[in-house]
């Protein structure tokens, strides 16, 4: 007896809502890469939850047929963690920008990493605040002049790759919509990784972004980590390469923990099972979560 298994295509994850980004925005490529990655993974849309914060990139949940939640600025990660804890079997993805993720939401990143819930965090990094008209963002390079910083940025930029590697992230990758196949590939790898996965996407802002960061330039200067023979099992080697952020556009998987170990999801599933098997009075429900 054979069982029919439904096969999903990229179009099955595309909603009827039309994207309203500026023509040429890198986020068009990012959402297409997400469709492709989800089709390769093969989970049905109703088993996927997509959470975002605020910003141009945070519109993505509305452009998918998955469950979506457009949350408040910088708070996508804790909300996504709540969804994952409530239903560990959902495939949970989080989308945000460099401002959303490393400014107001920066304090949540370390805790999401150390909890190691099985979810994928996709940052669209354009080194600028695009939605609010081109102010400096945490990843803007020192010296960058904008409408609100006529003397240029006087601060060093945040290095997202080094941040998350230093926090102990078990899967760290980078991609660009200038290489659609490569970007879809690293997103798929992040989704399949059993634990917290961080993917930094160099997604240029065509309206307020720097001229040397646009897609044509990215395509000409990117270097795949695979072409270097990079050992993604070495955190130290990954951190050495990550120091080139802002200078060399490396794409691919920087670090993949060869021994990711159990996730918090595993513990939560165990507790959910224990709750379903024991008819406890309301006052004793929380006792199930006490250490044995």
The answer to whether position 186 is within a domain reads yes
Asked whether the predicted pLDDT for residue 275 surpasses 80, the reply is no
Domain coverage including residue 218: 10-259
Cα separation of 250 and 252, whole Å? 7
pLDDT band for 283, please (50, 70, 90 cuts): confident
107-157 per-position pLDDT tens digit: 999 999 999 999 999 999 988 888 888 788 888 889 888 888 888 888 889
Domain of 78, CATH number, reads: 3.40.50.970
Asked whether the predicted pLDDT for residue 48 surpasses 90, the reply is yes
76-101 per-position pLDDT tens digit: 999 999 999 999 999 999 999 998 88
- By C-alpha distance, which of 140, 161, 154, 160 is closest to 209? 140
Residues 78 and 188 in one domain: yes
pLDDT band for 272, please (50, 70, 90 cuts): confident
The answer to whether position 5 is within a domain reads no
Cα separation of 119 and 97, whole Å? 17
The answer to whether position 4 is within a domain reads no
Total-model pTM: 0.90
Residue-level pLDDT at 1: 46
Domains: count for the chain: 2
158-206 per-position pLDDT tens digit: 999 999 999 999 999 999 999 999 999 999 999 999 999 999 999 988 8
Residues 170 and 188 in one domain: yes
């Amino acid at each position: 007896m054979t069982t029919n298994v439904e096969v999903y295509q990229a179009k099955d994850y595309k909603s009827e809502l039309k994207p309203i980004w500026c023509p040429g925005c890198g986020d068009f490529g990012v959402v297409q890469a997400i469709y492709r990655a989800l089709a390769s993974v093969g989970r049905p849309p109703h088993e996927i939850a997509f959470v975002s914060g605020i910003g141009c990139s945070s519109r993505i949940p509305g452009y998918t047929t998955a469950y979506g939640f457009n949350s408040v600025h910088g708070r996508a990660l804790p909300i996504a963690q709540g969804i994952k804890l409530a239903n560990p079997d959902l495939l949970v993805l989080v989308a945000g920008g460099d401002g959303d993720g490393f400014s107001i939401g920066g304090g949540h990143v370390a805790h999401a990493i150390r909890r190691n819930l099985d979810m994928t965090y996709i940052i669209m990094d354009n080194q600028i605040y695009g939605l609010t008209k081109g102010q400096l963002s945490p990843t803007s390079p020192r010296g960058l002049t904008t409408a609100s910083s006529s003397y240029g940025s006087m601060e060093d930029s945040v290095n997202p790759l080094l941040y998350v590697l230093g926090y102990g992230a078990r899967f760290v990758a980078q991609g660009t919509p200038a290489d659609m196949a490569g970007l879809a590939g690293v997103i798929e790898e992040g989704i399949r990784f059993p634990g917290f996965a961080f993917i930094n996407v160099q997604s240029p802002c065509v309206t307020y972004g720097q001229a040397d960061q646009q897609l044509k330039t990215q395509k000409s200067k990117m270097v795949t980590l695979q072409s270097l023979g990079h050992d993604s099992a070495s955190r130290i080697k990954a951190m050495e390469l990550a120091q080139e952020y802002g200078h060399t556009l490396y794409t691919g998987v920087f670090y993949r923990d060869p021994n990711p170990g159990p996730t918090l999801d595993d513990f939560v599933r165990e507790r959910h099972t224990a709750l379903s098997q024991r008819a406890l009075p309301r006052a004793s429900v929380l006792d199930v979560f006490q250490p044995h």
